[in-house]
Amino acid sequence: GIQVEQSPPDLILQEGANSTLRCNFSDSVNNLQWFHQNPWGQLINLFYIPSGTKQNGRLSATTVATERYSLLYISSSQTTDSGVYFCAVEGNNNDMRFGAGTRLTVKP
Amino acid sequence: KAGVTQTPRYLIKTRGQQVTLSCSPISGHRSVSWYQQTPGQGLQFLFEYFSETQRNKGNFPGRFSGRQFSNSRSEMNVSTLELGDSALYLCASNEPGPAYGYTFGSGTRLTVV
């Protein structure tokens, strides 16, 4: 199956700082999503982005499908951005594969 | 539009028992997928159903099974529970298409004692 690697595994920021999270995948994909997992365990969909660039407020994402990576940018980070960010990809066999996640801690 | 609903939210079971978890997808979504999340293994794919048919299955023992009903609601069952089955079980629904992603429920946290 498709392998998904996320980096860095952990990230600690001061409030107001910017960050970039990376997701590498091993094969072509039909679907790529970024999720934020809140402290209660719910996965919140941030972006559906199999290719191209999207922005939503302070967050933006870019996927370069030909080079098999995606980036999630968080600008002017806030303490509420803390949590685990997951990248998930879907190949041709209808299952979403998740990376191990990036645990982000934003300090006030 | 209601989201993905999983019941129950929390469950405590004893080793050897069996458990059934339920997932109601977003109205109109025909695909339901199940995932197990543990601190050690992360998020692992269990199986995916589409229009009452299992299309794909992850690498889990036969004790893990599921089904989907004609209204797209899905259940997963774990028999002969083991301590290692303690996990957060997440369900996601989607409607295949060029612009749709997966929407997850809040999960069922299962503790096996």
Mind listing the pLDDT tens digit for each residue in B86-109? Answer: 999 999 998 876 667 889 999 999
Separation of alpha carbons A74 and B60, rounded Å: 35
**HSE-CB of A88 using CA atoms within 13 angstroms:** 29
Mean pLDDT of B60-84: 97
Segment 38-67 of chain B within 8 Å of chain A by CB: 42-45, 48, 50, 55-56, 58
Token pair 């089955």 is found at: B85
Would you call B42 and A94 a contact, using CB atoms and an 8 Å cutoff? no
| Residue B108: closest C-alpha in chain A | A41
- Identify the bridge partners of residue A101 per DSSP, sorted by sequence position: none
Residue-wise pLDDT for B1-15, tens only, equals 679 999 999 999 999
Is the backbone of residue A52 left (phi > 0), alpha (psi -120 to 50) or beta?
left
| Res A32 pLDDT > 70 | yes
Chain A residues within 8 A of B11 when measuring between CB atoms: none
The pLDDT assigned to B91 comes to 97
Q: Does B95 lie at the interface with A, CB-CB under 8 angstroms? A: no
Task: Answer yes or no: do B42 and A101 touch at CB < 8 A.
Answer: yes
User: Which residue, among B43, B89, B93, would best test binding to A if mutated, counting the most A CBs under 10 Å from its CB?
Assistant: B43
Closest CA to B20 of B87, B83, B108, B113: B108
Chain B: give the shortest CA distance to residue A1, in Å: 10
Q: Is the pLDDT of residue A79 over 70?
A: yes
- The one-letter amino acid code at A52 reads G
Average pLDDT over chain A, rounded to whole? 94
CA distance B56 to A89: 15
Whole-angstrom distance, CA of residue B85 vs CA of residue B19: 11
Tokens of A74: 């968080």
Going by DSSP bridges, is the β-strand pair A19-25/A69-74 parallel, antiparallel, or unpaired?
Answer: antiparallel
Position A48, amino acid = Y
